[in-house]
Amino acid sequence: MNFPSSLLSFLRKVERAVVLTGAGVSQESGLRTFRDAQSGLWAQYRPEDLATPQAFARDPQLVWDWYALRREKARSAEPNPGHFALVEMEKRIAEFTLITQNVDGLHQRAGSVRVVELHGNLQRVKCSRCGQQASAWEAASPKVPQCLRCGGLLRPDVVWFGESLPPHALAAAIQASQTCQVFFSIGTSGLVQPAASLAYAARERGAVVVEINLEPTPLTGQVDFFLQGKSGEILPALVNATWPSEDSPGQIRE
Ligand code: BV8
Ligand code: ZN
């Protein structure tokens, strides 16, 4: 795989980088993206209809079960070469911020350190009434577990549609996007706000924007480099081309 030499020479000099990832980077770990149709029992539901407070209020058991299934799938999934390449990139760039829309926790499991989770994390559960984090709950019982403190129903600690993003995470994401020299948008359809505005915030401040995706998105027409293909293949190749193996601490498995 070859890359524009202008991109490689630019990346070698970069000191402040932001990467925004979406469900596409976990696709090669076997996790469905939001655009992928769901299967089996869940085929009749659209994710955006289940990932809402209204759906949970209407049928907490259905929403709890959907997240319990996704939690198990995320737990049994493994980070892929794309996740590991981002760990390597973080070691190579002085100020590196990985902003993720994903809730599967795979970036942290791969070894990424500075991760900003815009939409929460499936592996965390909190009370839908008092907000207290629940470290353990009766996983065996089929019913939606209740908060030990107030008896409220437990829910996944993720941001549903119509809910505000964690203020500190959003502020950190905006600040990093406004000061970076390069902004990567990887494996995201760029349809969900406010995450989708971060690339434009970076571009307005003069950052070089690089997009990696299987197919064009609404952002593609605005980027400096569009690398079309699988992130699990492009990212390791890009990292190895930018920082050749003789001096790289860990050759990325392609
Ligand atoms: C909010 C957690 C304030 C839950 C998620 C402004 C304008 C318009 C709408 C709005 C707006 N502000 C707010 C809204 C409403 C809404 C919104 O954006 N709606 C959209 C649908 C129009 N936003 C919100 O509600 C946000 N809250 O703004 O609060 C507020 C409050 C009240 C009222 C108004 C405003 C909250 C949004 C967060 C929702 N939670 N996730 C869960 O996971 O269950 S979002 C969820 O969907 C994901 O986290 C992710 O962010 C999104 C899916 O997007 P992607 O990650 O991009 O995944 P997708 O499947 O779409 O695309 C995958 C891409 O990968 C594709 O492009 C594909 O080609 C590519 N790909 C696939 N395989 C590969 C690959 N690329 C490379 N390699 C591969 N192998
Ligand atoms: Zn509670």
Query: What band does 43 get if pLDDT is binned at 50, 70 and 90?
Result: confident
pLDDT at 217 over 70: yes
End-to-end alpha-carbon separation of the chain, Å?
11
Query: What band does 38 get if pLDDT is binned at 50, 70 and 90?
Result: confident
- Ligand 1 atom nearest to 36, measured from its CA: 60
Q: Give start-end residues of each CATH 3.30.1600.10 domain in the chain.
A: 32-76+124-158
For the record, the structure tokens of 178 come out as: 């406004």
- Counted residue by residue, the chain has a size of 254
User: Which of 34, 122, 170, 220 is the pocket-test mutation for ligand 1 (most atoms within 8 Å of CB)?
Assistant: 34
What are the pLDDT digits (tens) for 139-173?
Answer: 777 899 999 999 999 999 999 999 999 999 999 99
Query: What band does 235 get if pLDDT is binned at 50, 70 and 90?
Result: very high
Question: Does the domain formed by 1-31+79-119+164-254 have CATH 3.40.50.720?
Answer: no
80 Cβ below 6 A of ligand 1: no
Question: Does the domain formed by 32-76+124-158 have CATH 3.30.70.640?
Answer: no
Please indicate whether residue 119 is annotated as part of the active site: yes
pLDDT at 250 over 60: no
Query: What band does 115 get if pLDDT is binned at 50, 70 and 90?
Result: very high
Q: How many other C-beta atoms can be found within 10 angstroms of the C-beta atom of residue 250? A: 11
DSSP letters of 159-212?
--TTSPPPHHHHHHHHHHHHH-SEEEEES--S-STTGGGHHHHHHHTT-EEEEE
pLDDT at 174 over 70: yes
Q: Give start-end residues of each CATH 3.40.50.1220 domain in the chain.
A: 1-31+79-119+164-254
The rounded distance, in Å, linking the Cα atoms of 213 and 198 is: 17
pTM (2 d.p.): 0.95
The rounded distance, in Å, linking the Cα atoms of 61 and 64 is: 5
For the record, the structure tokens of 164 come out as: 């505000």
- Ligand lying closest to the C-alpha of residue 134: 2
User: Which of 45, 80, 193, 212 is the pocket-test mutation for ligand 1 (most atoms within 8 Å of CB)?
Assistant: 193
Residue 186, strand partner residues: 21, 212
